[in-house]
Amino acid sequence: MLPPQGSAYAAEVDTMYMALFWLSVVLFLGIAVAAIGFAWRYRYKPGRVTPHQTHNTMLEIVWTVIPLLLCVGIFFWGLHGWMEYAVAPGEAMEVQIVAKKWIWQFEYPDGTRTVNEIHVPVNKPVRFVMTSEDVIHDFFVPDMRVKHDIVPGRYTEVWFTPTVLGVHHVTCAEYCGKGHSDMQAKLSVDTDAQYANFMETGGTEWEDYKNNPAAWGKLQYERKGCSTCHSIDGTRITGGGPSWKGIWGKMEEMNDGKKVLVDQDYVTESMMYPQAKIVKGFEPIMPTFQGLLRSHEQQGLIAFIKSLGNDPKGGPPAPTMLSLPPKAQPGQTQAQPGQTQAQPGQAPAQGQK
Amino acid sequence: MEQQFDTSKIGMWLFLATEVLLFGGLFVGFGLMQARYPQEFIEAHEHLQRPLGSLNTVVLLISSFTMVMAVQAAQRSQKKKLIVFLLLTILCACIFLGVKYFEYSHKFEEHLLPPRWYHAQPGDTVHDPSTGGISHGYGTFFAFYFMMTGLHGFHILVGIILLSWLVVRANRGEFSKNYFTPVDLVGLYWHLVDMIWIYLFPLFYLIK
Amino acid sequence: MSQHSSTHEHAHGGTSLYVRTLITLLILTAITVGASYIDFGQGNVVIALFIATIKATIVALFFMHLRYDKPVNAVIACAGFLFLGIFLMFCFIDFGSRDGLRPVNWNGKLPVETAAPAPGAAPAPAQK
Amino acid sequence: MEHTLTTKSHTGDRPRPAKNYLTEEKGIWSWMTTVDHKRIGVMYLVGVLSAFFVGGMFALLVRLTLLTPSHKLFGRVLIDAQTYNRVFTLHGAIMVFLFIIPSVPAALGNFVMPLMLGAKDVAFPRLNLASFYLWVTGAVMAVLSMIFGAVDTGWTFYTPYSTTTDGAVTLMTMAVFVLGFSSIFTGINFVATVHKLRAPGMGWFDMPLFVWGIYATAIIQVLATPVLGITLALLALERVFSIGIFDPKLGGDPVLFQHFFWFYSHPAVYIMILPGMAIISELIPTFSRKTMFGYRAVAYSSVSLALLSFIVWGHHMFVAGQSQLATVIFSALTFLVAIPSGVKMFNWLGTMYKGNISLETPMLYAISFLLLFAIGGLTGIFLGTLSTDVHLTDTYFVVAHFHYVMMGGTVIAFIGGLHYWWPKMTGRMYNERIGQIGCIIVFIGFNMTFLTQFFMGSKGMPRRYYNYLDQYQALHAFSTVGSWVIGLGLFMTAANLLASLRKPYDAPDNPWGGTTLEWQTSSPPITHNFEDQPVLEKAPYDYRPEPVAH
């Protein structure tokens, strides 16, 4: 009758549900037996005189008070279960959801994003902070017994602790138009090792950009915060760093007077050890991105910077194809169900616009 | 006759209760938005002309008085007095709408309009962190201002039509102490419209 | 029949009562306008609405004759305001106890509608 | 025929009057300009039944579309997702606003209530006619909105979807706005009628329980419907002028719309179910030939349901983003609604106990109601309970729940009442056997259609879905077959009733042995209802063999 239990909370809900179910069955049978039984037992006989019972105060008080007590009990039981749903534990991992017609975007604390697919580690509480870009949607995970509306213009939250490995279904439960019933996502509950691997590779989104590293880099430029300090139109952002426009292949003068060619090595060094070389006229304010950028994201950024060069075809070489470092390809990846499949409804990256 | 008079009155009061809840929805919305944008609402209300609002309040109160005098005249079968008081009430209503017209055209000139068309005013201090522009609270104030005073103004307009209809019937001598139900009912309606303004006035013009 | 209208005429009403009612209302209007120039903080709203309620009650009792009318009409009038009060109360309970939730790493901006739903098809570079 | 087995039919032997309300005046014009509550009731009846037919066709189309996951019938896709959304929206909007809300009060209530009170007409006959024409106007506007672009918002018009989607949403909201005023005018009329036009000797607690139910309904119509009016006006303004009250992009709040909408639409649920309960409170004593058990408790429960209906609307919004405090308060209050509903149920059963029960068509409908409403009510507990509601809301569980209450409750009661008062309205008896069979078929089909949906919802199938997972295929198919069974039963019923109209007048004045005043006039009644002003001598539902005081 109910979907499989995917969280500790599901058991709580199911106990309540089954209790109400059996209570309802008993009460319904009582009513049905009385209604049909009376209709049979007291079926019409000509001339039978019926008693003139106008009321019975005692009886009426009894059948008012007993349901009332029953209802009070059910309310508090339901409240007790719901409190667990309502209050997320402080240590829960936070995942942001941005819903829009008709896709789900998930963003992890480190900035990793996935679309219509989400990985969470098993047995660890995870908290979703959600907002919508257009109309109201609803994040519904039947296996976890949770749902909550996603309202544009504000944030709402929902949380659970997944306990069952494997893929669970995420579905939109608030009517949102033509694609409402296609607004689905996969929730993959991973072992710690699988999850660590997922975080290392950053999901499958990058594979859509495999042949277009510059577009991938542009996405990282917006997502990872590069855009707050580096412009791409040649202007200088106050308190920021050099613009990336036309920087590729240039000989930059450093604050110690040395000249350095802007190539793959230099850019990589600037991302990992930003204080090593400072361009003349700028402050050493850039934080390190060591550990925050995956190799394919670095490759993408480098390709993106190259594409902003005065002559994108010239200058030092940059990656033309994204790849993972060899160590990230152990046998574990096959255990991740969601990762190797193509995602339905998700348009390939290139060639759009 | 007595029976019919009482029945009509119950019907009229029921209708007035629906009017209270019709306006009530707007009052609830206003209250909630005022709680959400308190500073914006205070700054926005400075753009309303308090003297004009006060003038309109006085005009409406006087019109309520002339209305109740008209009802009394009808009850006493004083045809002439009835017509005069009805006309005075219509006059007050027209003054009210005239003042409102001035106020509205001023708002339009200054672009004191709902959020979509609101233009930032020199005194606006609250900014919306997510857009960097000024807060939508200012426009929201004027959205409610136009909806609530607009709906109220519409009721005044309907009142003028009803009062004119009463004047015509009174002129034909249809009302007397034996039959004055329509005058009484329109009177009730008119007082309700007045009563709503009694709340609108402080909420929009005076709230700090 | 004449009995009916005469009860309405003499039991209540009368020009002098109406004049006194009008004067009271005008005085209250003056008070409420005056009070609005003094800063009572939160108190201004309370004072303004309190005076408005007194005025509305006076209008209902005397101009609308509720004081002398059949009680059923007063019950209906009160019901209108009562249910409006219920409406107001529950809406305020909700709005007053919302949590104002924000993500931990919030950048201060709510996502707005963008033209391109597909990944990688981002439009013009975002000005941040 | 069985229906002649009445305990007392003291008016049955009276000669049929030469003229009745149907024959007094002739011609379309006499109908269109009539202020006779009976004629207006009949016009309403024709109107709401037409709306029921149209809404029912949309329902069958919805079910047919969901028969298979591919939506194919004979190799062709039946309708696409966009059309599907429009169809279920129209089904909901037509059924709620054009059919159920006016069904019992405006059609049956209009006809029966003044008769039950021993009155000549309602308090404001012309307002009554105006209300009917507003209904017609609203219906025409709703039809026009279907032609000019249709509406795909769902009947709930949630913002910001409804303010951004294409189509004739503004026209549809205006249609519902007009229908709202039709409902308000009916409500005002009925409250005033009950207060002022009771027969001499009829105190408040001598009124038939149907009148109590209609009175409680009218209170809700008067006090809740204006809020619907202002809500829809705001929605229309939002679409046309972008005023920004409900639009987060302009500083508004979409959840505010839901508060506004449900402040009306939850009480509206009781506008729909209270008259249904009211009919059952007539049918059960009449066909049990036994006085109503706990008359006062039933009367009070109607009024208390009406009042409680105003303070529980937030239970539609447990997961919608209202504050958690509000959610808890609304859940607690919601449980209070169970009490008066339960009281009614027990009193009906108490009335049947030791009765003398005959199962003519109306009584079969009454027993169907008891069973279906029991399921509808009990599943309501699942949805009022916080922890289970989170999982079940916005799924097919909710769809099944409210169909059990709205259709299993109100519509079943409405059809039962229609059979009960049909002889009074038309002066003809329908075929009893076909009526009974029709009722049983509808009952079976109804459970086939909607019981399955509880299981789908519990499994996690969201509502308003065009595409669904294969695991639901079997249940969907079963549900669709059930909808055909309902259609068959309703078709039989309609044919049976219509066929009776071809006969000459054959209904006695009091075919069921009813004790309320409408049975003391001729069938069909004369234009002014009663030859002489009836005076109430006994409380209603007094089935003691000899009148106590005469």
Give all domains of chain A, ordered by start, each with its CATH number.
1-31+88-203+335-341 (2.60.40.420), 211-321 (1.10.760.10)
The residues, ordered by sequence, that sit 6+ positions from D171 with a Cβ below 8 Å of its Cβ are D141, D144, D145, D148
The residues, ordered by sequence, that sit 6+ positions from A36 with a Cβ below 8 Å of its Cβ are D367
At C118, the pLDDT band (50, 70, 90 cuts) reads: very low
Separation between Cα atoms, residue A67 and residue D45, nearest integer Å = 37
Q: Which amino acid, residue C85? A: G
Q: Does D314 touch chain C (CB under 8 A)?
A: yes
Arithmetic mean of pLDDT, A186-194: 91
Separation between Cα atoms, residue D295 and residue D173, nearest integer Å = 40
Find the distance separating the first CA and the last CA of chain C, reported in whole Å: 80
- Per the structure, the complete domain to which residue D276 belongs is given by 37-520
Q: Is D14 part of any domain?
A: no
**Cα separation values, A90 from A125, A191, C94, D185, Å:** 9, 22, 24, 54
Give the DSSP letter of residue D403: H
HEC secondary structure over A89-133: CCCCEEEEEEEECCEEEEECCCCCEEECEEEEECCCCEEEEEEEC
Q: Is C127 part of any domain?
A: no
Q: Which residue from D146, D151, D180 is spatially nearest to D163, judged by alpha carbons?
A: D151
**Tens of pLDDT, residue by residue, chain D (550 residues):** 334 333 334 444 577 888 899 988 888 999 999 999 999 999 999 999 999 999 999 999 999 999 998 888 888 888 999 999 999 999 999 999 999 999 999 999 999 999 999 999 999 999 999 999 999 999 999 999 988 888 999 999 998 999 988 889 999 999 999 999 999 999 999 999 999 999 988 999 999 999 999 999 999 999 999 999 999 999 999 998 888 899 888 888 999 999 999 999 999 999 999 999 999 999 999 999 999 999 999 999 999 999 999 999 999 999 999 999 999 999 999 999 999 999 999 999 999 999 999 999 999 999 999 999 999 999 999 999 999 999 999 999 999 999 999 999 999 999 999 999 999 999 999 999 999 999 999 999 999 999 999 999 999 999 999 999 999 999 999 999 999 999 999 999 999 999 999 999 999 999 998 999 999 899 899 999 998 888 887 788 888 876 545 4
Compute the Cα dihedral for A59, A63, A64, A66 and give only its sign.
Answer: positive
SS3 call for C116: coil
Facing residue for C111 by CB, picked from A133, A209, A352: A133
B45: closest CA of chain C, how far (Å): 12
Facing residue for A75 by CB, picked from D332, D352, D355: D332
Separation between Cα atoms, residue C122 and residue A230, nearest integer Å = 18
D356: closest CA of chain B, how far (Å): 41
**Cα separation values, C50 from B20, C32, C44, Å:** 18, 9, 10
C34: closest CA of chain D, how far (Å): 32
Structure tokens at C96: 């007053």
Question: How much is the ipTM here?
Answer: 0.89
Position A120 scores a pLDDT of 93
Separation between Cα atoms, residue B77 and residue C5, nearest integer Å = 10
Arithmetic mean of pLDDT, B36-64: 92
- Asked if B116 lies within 8 A of D250 by C-beta distance, the reply is yes
Q: Interface of chain B against chain D, CB under 8 Å? A: 3, 6-8, 10-11, 14-15, 17-26, 28-29, 32-33, 36-37, 114-116, 128, 135-137, 139-140, 143-144, 147
Facing residue for C91 by CB, picked from B28, B57, B202: B28
Position A300 scores a pLDDT of 87
* Chain D environment of B147 (Cβ under 8 Å): 234, 237, 243
Q: Is C63 part of any domain?
A: yes
Asked if D504 and D106 touch (Cβ cutoff 8 Å), the reply is no
At C113, the pLDDT band (50, 70, 90 cuts) reads: low
Facing residue for C99 by CB, picked from D255, D263, D323: D323
Asked if D538 and D515 touch (Cβ cutoff 8 Å), the reply is yes
A187 alpha-carbon distance from chain centroid: 9
Name the domain count of chain C.
1
- Asked if B18 lies within 8 A of D226 by C-beta distance, the reply is yes
- Per the structure, the complete domain to which residue C52 belongs is given by 2-90
The CATH number linked to D492 is 1.20.210.10
* Chain B environment of C73 (Cβ under 8 Å): 9-10, 13
Q: Which amino acid, residue D550? A: H
pLDDT digits over A95-131, tens only? 999 998 888 989 888 777 888 889 999 999 999 999 9
Phi, psi for C111 (deg, rounded to 5): -65, 135
HEC secondary structure over D79-119: CCHHHHHHHHHHHHHHHHHHHHHHHHHHHHHHHHHHHHHCC
Helices and strands, number each (H, E), in chain A: 6, 12
Q: Which residue from D198, D300, D289, D215 is spatially nearest to D536, judged by alpha carbons?
A: D198
Q: Is D162 part of any domain?
A: yes
SS3 call for C20: helix
Arithmetic mean of pLDDT, B106-118: 88
**Cα separation values, A143 from A2, A186, A189, C10, D487, Å:** 9, 12, 12, 75, 36
Q: Is C125 part of any domain?
A: no
Q: Which residues pair with B71 in a beta bridge?
A: none
Structure tokens at D74: 């004979």
At A297, the pLDDT band (50, 70, 90 cuts) reads: confident
Separation between Cα atoms, residue A218 and residue A227, nearest integer Å = 10
Lowest mean per-residue pLDDT among A270-274, A330-334, B173-177, C54-58: A330-334
- Asked if D291 lies within 8 A of A38 by C-beta distance, the reply is no
Q: Which residue from D90, D201, D65 is spatially nearest to D155, judged by alpha carbons?
A: D90
- Asked if B25 lies within 8 A of D231 by C-beta distance, the reply is yes
Q: Is D317 part of any domain?
A: yes
Interface test mutation site (partner D, options A14, A18, A20, A50, max chain D beta carbons within 10 A): A50
Separation between Cα atoms, residue A196 and residue A181, nearest integer Å = 32
Q: Is D175 part of any domain?
A: yes
Any idea of the CA torsion for D19, D22, D26, D30, to the nearest 10 degrees? 120
At A207, the pLDDT band (50, 70, 90 cuts) reads: confident
Q: Which residues pair with A126 in a beta bridge?
A: A93, A160
Q: Is D452 part of any domain?
A: yes
**Residue A28 burial (10 A CB sphere; 0-12, 13-18, 19+):** middle
* Chain B environment of C5 (Cβ under 8 Å): 75, 177-178, 180
DSSP annotation string for A307-347: HTSSSTTSSS---SS----GGG-SGGGGG-TTTSSPPTT--
Name the domain count of chain D.
1
The residues, ordered by sequence, that sit 6+ positions from A135 with a Cβ below 8 Å of its Cβ are A101, A152, A176, A177, D158, D160, D161, D164
Nearest CA in chain C to D323: C98
Separation between Cα atoms, residue C27 and residue C22, nearest integer Å = 9
Q: Is D526 part of any domain?
A: no
Mean pLDDT of chain B: 92
A280: closest CA of chain C, how far (Å): 24
Q: Is C24 part of any domain?
A: yes
DSSP annotation string for A165-189: -EEEEEEE-S--STTGGG-EEEEEE
In order of their start, the domains of chain B are 2-206 (1.20.120.80)
